[in-house]
Amino acid sequence: MIRLLDQNTIDKIAAGEVIERPAAVVKELVENAIDSGANAITIEIKQGGISFIRITDNGCGIPKDQIPLAFQRHATSKISTIEDLLQVKSLGFRGEALSSIAAVSQVELITKDVDSIIGCRYEIHGGAEITKEEIGCPDGTTFIMRNLFYNTPARGKFLKTNATEGGYISDVVLHFILSHPEIRFKFIWDGKIKIQTSGNGNVKDNIYNQYGPDITKALLPVEVSQNGMTLTGFIGKPELSRGTRSFMNYYINGRHIKSPVIQKGIEAAYQGFSMTNRFPFTALFLEIDSSCLDVNVHPSKMEVRFTNQEEVYELFRTGLHDILKQATLIPKVSLGKEEPVKKPEKKAEKRLEIPGIPEPFETNRTGIPQISKDGSGSAKNEPSQEIKYEQQSLFQEQLLQEEDAVRFRLIGQVFGTFWLIEYKDELLIIDQHAAHEKVLYEELMKELSESHVYSQNLLAPVVLTLTHREKEVLASYQEAFTKLGFEIEEFGGDEYAVKAVPSHFLHLASRELFYSILDELLENPQGGKTELVTDRCASISCKAAVKGNHTLSFSEAEKLIEKMLRAEEPYHCPHGRPTTISMTKKEFEKKFKRIV
């Protein structure tokens, strides 16, 4: 039997779309506070926000006669017609937040607008008005929410622990302090101040306060403009990479959002600088004409659609990649902590002792200090210390200039993998596999960019069986594949035959290669762009690079290293691993106690 739901049930269902947990309450109320023009906002929670949330601001307040209307569904001061959705500049706009919060909790409102002499206190529980009275209060608004989901206990069962729910709220506050550094925020959790900002407008100060000095000192400033869009903020050097995307913060016109287009653009920018499945730190702010956005995609307003998504993608990809490229750095290695010099002690066993050599070093029969495999200088039975390194810039331009060539001295190969080079007051240590990957990558990229790729017929075609989506993406990129030297034809039914490949790929041609390329293209929103196929193919081509534990002759090594050092970006392989690390002469002198 079909029946109409009663209004109470309708309101609770609608509330569930907007209010999933306490963090959603905080997000909606703080957005309203920002839209009210507040420059000081205090958020206080108890028991993870489940039992108590208080949001206080010094904004414009709500006129007394409009308070009951503000709690009605779809009552808003932000828009009046459907066309207004194309020009939304405020954070809130649909008029669902207050009605949704009031439907599933007990709400108390204290507010005074600037034109009123006295304020108003208003209570509404589960959508039903309880009290409305005059009260003395300062300009601005205070919302108090108690007992979330008290009248919908089934929803409350899905909430997590107080600590977890409070953590979600902390994340929400963090996004507000990054996106609105001009506002003074205070976040109080169970009576303790967890976050407090000055509101001085300096994003970097807020990053320092929340993420600490290690991240702050490894930031690169961003200021890029393209196609009427402006991108500002900070990105982390590749050394800041994490195994999760949670450090990737980006905002559109002051709104924290999630966007596959922007996410892909950022990750593409870091390709070649960070290793696979490692993600950067970002705090990026995109200013874009609101007519290019559809913010009315999801009740939580966390998703947007772009009318110019390809331009947005390119802004992030090329803009950030150029910044990383200009700031490319070599890891500087330090072999553990400095140990104090110990005086030699008399030993019961007979052994050769060298004055000035600290105890953690082992000595061999010649008395030369041995550094353990982890590079820490610790003895076998001592806890090892991880090799430390920090990024440093040795060269202002490309590594190897004509006048510098004679200053390089190739010393030799160690462990069948690493080459040692003396350069000025530095010892460069180069990974031959990573170096060869970089050389192959840039050579292929150059050939592709100059359309000098040569196609090679396969003795036996590689036959692919494709799904409907794979066939669609192949059709979309067919022109790009042909331009790059691939010859792919329909083979009947769901099968396609790859008959020719670029000459670089001749020994790599396999079903796995093409499936991996198609998988990447399926995930990327930029249909038909040749650069996406190029990047994917070039990354795969590095499988042809010489491996570690392969002995090269001096002449082979010299040619390889010279090509690598003359590369456009010689410091990382296409997967983001460093090709080169360095140790300074000063570091050696410290280790041998020649200087203190």
Higher pLDDT, 517 or 201: 201
222 close to 319: Cβ distance less than 8 angstroms: yes
Pairwise CA distance, residues 154 & 151, whole Å: 9
The pLDDT value given to residue 29:
92
Q: Is the pLDDT of residue 87 over 80?
A: no
Rg (CA), the chain: 31
24 close to 93: Cβ distance less than 8 angstroms: no
Pairwise CA distance, residues 168 & 170, whole Å: 5
Q: Is the pLDDT of residue 366 over 60?
A: no
Q: How confident is the model at residue 375 (pLDDT cuts 50, 70, 90)?
A: very low
Q: Is the pLDDT of residue 214 over 70?
A: yes
The pLDDT value given to residue 377:
40
562 close to 399: Cβ distance less than 8 angstroms: no
pLDDT tens string 238-272: 877 777 788 899 998 888 888 888 999 999 898 87
Concatenated DSSP letters for 523-575? Answer: H-S-TT-HHHHHHHHHHHHGGGSPPTT-PPPHHHHHHHHHHHHTSSSTTB-TT
- What is the 8-class DSSP label of residue 578? B
Q: Is the pLDDT of residue 13 over 50?
A: yes
3-state secondary structure of 283: strand
How many Cα atoms are found within 13 Å in the side-chain-facing hemisphere of 53? 28
Q: What is the mean pLDDT of residues 445-449?
A: 71
Pairwise CA distance, residues 187 & 169, whole Å: 9
Name 157's Cβ contacts closer than 8 Å, sequence gap at least 6.
Answer: none
Candidates 24, 130, 12; CA nearest to 67 is 130
As a residue count, the chain comes to 596
Residue at 345: amino acid letter: E
Q: Is the pLDDT of residue 106 over 90?
A: yes
Q: Is the pLDDT of residue 281 over 80?
A: yes
Pairwise CA distance, residues 337 & 340, whole Å: 10
207 close to 234: Cβ distance less than 8 angstroms: yes
Q: Is the pLDDT of residue 222 over 80?
A: yes
The pLDDT value given to residue 541:
56
Burial of 200 (0-12, 13-18, 19+ CB in 10 A): exposed
Higher pLDDT, 390 or 173: 173
Helices (H), 43-197: 67-70, 97-103, 153-156, 162-179
Q: What is the mean pLDDT of residues 198-220?
A: 90
Q: Where are the beta strands (DSSP E) in 38-116?
A: 40-46, 52-57, 106-112
Q: Is the pLDDT of residue 310 over 90?
A: no
The pLDDT value given to residue 110:
96
- C-beta contacts of 193-201 below 8 A and 24+ residues apart: 194/170, 195/170, 199/39, 199/40
The pLDDT value given to residue 569:
74
Residue at 431: amino acid letter: D
The pLDDT value given to residue 145:
95
Mean pLDDT, all residues of the chain: 76
Beta strand pairing call for 40-46 and 184-189: parallel
Candidates 374, 348, 409; CA nearest to 554 is 409
pLDDT tens string 194-207: 999 999 999 999 99
Highest mean pLDDT among 93-97, 183-187, 345-349, 542-546: 183-187
The pLDDT value given to residue 258:
86
Pairwise CA distance, residues 432 & 409, whole Å: 16
Q: Is the pLDDT of residue 360 over 70?
A: no
Q: What is the mean pLDDT of residues 456-482?
A: 82
First CA to last CA distance, the chain: 88
Kindly state the tokens that stand for 510. Answer: 């396999």
The pLDDT value given to residue 357:
32
Pairwise CA distance, residues 343 & 358, whole Å: 8
Burial of 325 (0-12, 13-18, 19+ CB in 10 A): middle
Higher pLDDT, 273 or 391: 273
The pLDDT value given to residue 34:
92
The pLDDT value given to residue 388:
40
Higher pLDDT, 102 or 364: 102
Pairwise CA distance, residues 12 & 563, whole Å: 66
Q: What is the mean pLDDT of residues 326-345?
A: 55
Q: Which of 246-250, 302-306, 377-381, 589-593 has the lowest mean pLDDT?
A: 377-381
Q: What is the mean pLDDT of residues 553-579?
A: 77
The pLDDT value given to residue 20:
85
What secondary structure, in 3-state letters, does 232-278 show? EEEEECHHHCECCHHHEEEEECCEECECHHHHHHHHHHCECCECCCC
CB atoms within 10 A of CB 420: 15
39 close to 183: Cβ distance less than 8 angstroms: yes
Q: How confident is the model at residue 402 (pLDDT cuts 50, 70, 90)?
A: very low
Q: Is the pLDDT of residue 383 over 50?
A: no
- What is the 8-class DSSP label of residue 77? S
Q: Is the pLDDT of residue 530 over 80?
A: no
Helices (H), 95-142: 97-103
CB atoms within 10 A of CB 43: 26
The pLDDT value given to residue 436:
81
Q: Is the pLDDT of residue 328 over 50?
A: yes
Please report, rounded to a whole number, the percentage of residues in the chain having pLDDT higher than 90.
26
Q: Which of 289-303, 304-318, 336-350, 370-384 has the lowest mean pLDDT?
A: 370-384
The pLDDT value given to residue 138:
93
The pLDDT value given to residue 27:
92
Q: What is the mean pLDDT of residues 551-555?
A: 77
Q: How confident is the model at residue 523 (pLDDT cuts 50, 70, 90)?
A: low
3-state secondary structure of 133: strand
The pLDDT value given to residue 183:
96
3-state secondary structure of 40: strand
Q: How far is CA 8 from CA 51, 102, 250, 409, 468, in A?
A: 22, 12, 38, 81, 45
Higher pLDDT, 360 or 591: 591
Q: Which of 343-347, 494-498, 586-590 has the lowest mean pLDDT?
A: 343-347
Q: Is the pLDDT of residue 382 over 70?
A: no
Q: Is the pLDDT of residue 53 over 50?
A: yes
What secondary structure, in 3-state letters, does 299-323 show? CCCCECEECCHHHHHHHHHHHHHHH
Ramachandran region, residue 147 (left: φ > 0; alpha: ψ -120 to 50; beta: rest): left
The pLDDT value given to residue 534:
66
The pLDDT value given to residue 247:
87
The pLDDT value given to residue 142:
96
The pLDDT value given to residue 308:
84
Q: What is the mean pLDDT of residues 155-173?
A: 89
The pLDDT value given to residue 82:
46
pLDDT tens string 60-69: 999 998 898 8
Pairwise CA distance, residues 281 & 234, whole Å: 8
